[in-house]
Structure 1
Amino acid sequence: MRELLESVANGETSVAEAEAMLSGYATNGAGRFDAARERRRGVPEAILADGKTPSEVAELATTAVETAGRAIVTRVDDDHAGAVQRRLDADHPDADVRVRTRANVLVAHAPTFEPPEVNATVGIVSAGTSDAIPAGEAAVIASEMGATVEEIHDVGVASLVRVLDEVDALRAADALVVAAGREGALPTVIAGLVDTPVIGLPVSNGYGHASDGEAALSGMLQSCTVLSTVNIDAGFVAGGQAGLIARAVGAARERDGERE
């Protein structure tokens, strides 16, 4: 405790870092950042930009970089991304800031951040181009958890030959996130072709009866083949679940390697 207090007094540790070390989270004017979530749960904390002002998002992102070495911001728009970039340029100019536009996700790494490495692959599959945002969100989260991410896009059931052309790649993955709108059939089809855990990600891009992802969600929940299903557009949850599976697979491979 004394060493931590002296470190704060000497300016070597920020107040936010000290608070995170003591309580597991850091508090600022925009809320509380759960800096210990990844150690506790295995899934990194993310900042949902939707519903927050750009300045609130920027403040939380800065706290995340200070306490966890990394900020992940989901559902960002140009105003959010610009505010985060300006704040980090001022407070942490060495931070590496990247925006995945099609996924609406911003990720910032401090120079000292060491990303995890997992010996496992997560496949991110989308039925069509319009599924790119939640699918991309899932890809970012699984990647930030250390998994190798392989993306397969535009293989919807309107032309099954597109899926069949990718069967070998689908079977090679250790976990699959499959995003689809409309009737949500693609995860069910793929789950009948592979022995890999499949996570269905319903997307709110359909129209007509039971639109806004409801038909896709219902179809995945009613799947005859075995799969898990997350909420509509819940790319973060799907990516996190796939990342946890990848971690378990990677850990098993390491144990097998030690026994050899």
Structure 2
Amino acid sequence: MRELLEAVADGSLSPAQAEAELNGYVTGEAGRFDAARDQRRGIPEAILAEGKSAEQVIALAEAALETTDRALLTRVSTSQFEALERHLTEAYPDATIDRRSTTIHVRTDDHEPPSLDATVGIATGGTVDGPIADEAAAVCLDAGATVDRVDDVGVAALSRTLDQLERFREADVLIVAAGREGALPTVVAGLVDTPVIGVPVSSGYGYGGDGEAALAGLLQSCTVLSVVNIDAGFVAGAQAVLIARAIDDARD
């Protein structure tokens, strides 16, 4: 405790960093950021931008950067990103900003990226599934895993799925995102001995086009796979990271 107080007094530790050390989280006007989640769960807290003002998004990103040297944001709108980018340009001019559709990953120069000896394969049925796959990929890359991405291999033309079969089999864990009837994850899971995480996507139209048909299809799969909620790219990425980390530990 005394060391923390002395560090705050001499300026080597900010009040937010001290609060994170003491409580595991830091409190601001926009809410509480769980700075200790990465140590506790192996996955950092992601800042869900949807439903928040640009000012709240910036404040939470600031809390993440100050306490963990990186920030992972999901469902970021164009206007939120523009405001965040303007703020970071001034406050963290040397920060690296990686934008993948609606997912943003920011890291300062002080952040030391981890490395995992494991490959996460990510596949999408169609281009429309891309933003959800981007969310999963950002989580995996943040953890230091190698990501092998294959897009637009839906089963409407099964040959394009089978063309990628060897890549699927080489991955340590697979995330497969698909909308409509959600067939791609179940087909892939029947062809590989790799753990498959299926992500139903809210793409399609008419009855079940909001992702419910895809979710039902994955839940009823006769091939063995895990299923996350509709559009839950972050959750799929987090589960893949936990598996990849266990594989990395076993290899060590």
Does the pair score TM above 0.5?
A: yes
Q: Which residue of 2 aligns with 1:258?
A: none
Letter in 2 for 1:25: Y
Q: Which residue of 1 aligns with 2:100?
A: 100
Q: Which residue of 2 aligns with 1:231?
A: 229
Kept in 2: contact 1:62–1:87 (CA 8 A)? no
Q: Which residue of 2 aligns with 1:67?
A: 67
The structure 1 residue matched to 2:187, chosen from 186, 189, 206, is: 189
Q: Distance in 2 between matches of 1:114 and 1:57?
A: 23
Q: Distance in 2 between matches of 1:10 and 1:81?
A: 34
Q: Which residue of 2 aligns with 1:42?
A: 42
Stretch deviating more after TM superposition (114-123 or 82-91)? 82-91
The structure 2 residue matched to 1:204, chosen from 178, 202, 205, is: 202
Which residues in structure 2 correspond to 1:3-22 (within 5 Å)? 3-22=3-22
Deviation at 1:18, TM superposition (A): 0.5
Q: Distance in 2 between matches of 1:7 and 1:34?
A: 21
Q: Distance in 1 between matches of 2:197 and 2:56?
A: 32
Paired-residue identity, %: 59
Instruction: Give the 3-state SS of the residue equivalent to 2:4 in structure 1.
Output: helix
Q: Which residue of 1 aligns with 2:32?
A: 32
Letter in 1 for 2:175: V
Deviation at 1:89, TM superposition (A): 2.6
Q: Which residue of 2 aligns with 1:247?
A: 245
Instruction: Give the 3-state SS of the residue equivalent to 2:186 in structure 1.
Output: helix
Q: Distance in 1 between matches of 2:199 and 2:154?
A: 13
Letter in 1 for 2:26: A
Q: Distance in 2 between matches of 1:57 and 1:197?
A: 34
Letter in 2 for 1:66: E
Does residue 137 (structure 1) correspond to residue 135 (structure 2)? The answer is yes
Q: Which residue of 2 aligns with 1:114?
A: 112
Letter in 2 for 1:233: D
CA deviations on 1:122-153 (whole Å, 9 max, x unpaired) are 00000010100101111111111111000011
Q: Distance in 1 between matches of 2:89 and 2:14?
A: 17
Letter in 2 for 1:153: D
Letter in 2 for 1:122: V
Q: Distance in 2 between matches of 1:205 and 1:214?
A: 10
CA deviations on 1:81-104 (whole Å, 9 max, x unpaired) are 122222223332222222122xx1
Q: Distance in 2 between matches of 1:242 and 1:206?
A: 26
For structure 1, which runs of at least 5 residues remain unmatched after alignment?
255-260
Q: Distance in 2 between matches of 1:113 and 1:54?
A: 24
Q: Distance in 1 between matches of 2:160 and 2:11?
A: 57
TM-score, normalising length: structure 1: 0.95
Instruction: Give the 3-state SS of the residue equivalent to 1:136 in structure 2.
Output: helix
Q: Distance in 2 between matches of 1:173 and 1:31?
A: 38
Instruction: Give the 3-state SS of the residue equivalent to 1:138 in structure 2.
Output: helix
Letter in 2 for 1:39: Q
Aligned-residue CA RMSD (Å): 0.9
Letter in 2 for 1:143: L
Instruction: Give the 3-state SS of the residue equivalent to 2:115 in structure 1.
Output: coil
Instruction: Give the 3-state SS of the residue equivalent to 2:205 in structure 1.
Output: coil
CA deviations on 1:189-209 (whole Å, 9 max, x unpaired) are 000000000000000011122
Which residues in structure 2 correspond to 1:48-87 (within 5 Å)? 48-87=48-87
Q: Distance in 1 between matches of 2:83 and 2:18?
A: 25
Kept in 2: contact 1:125–1:153 (CA 8 A)? yes
Q: Which residue of 2 aligns with 1:23?
A: 23
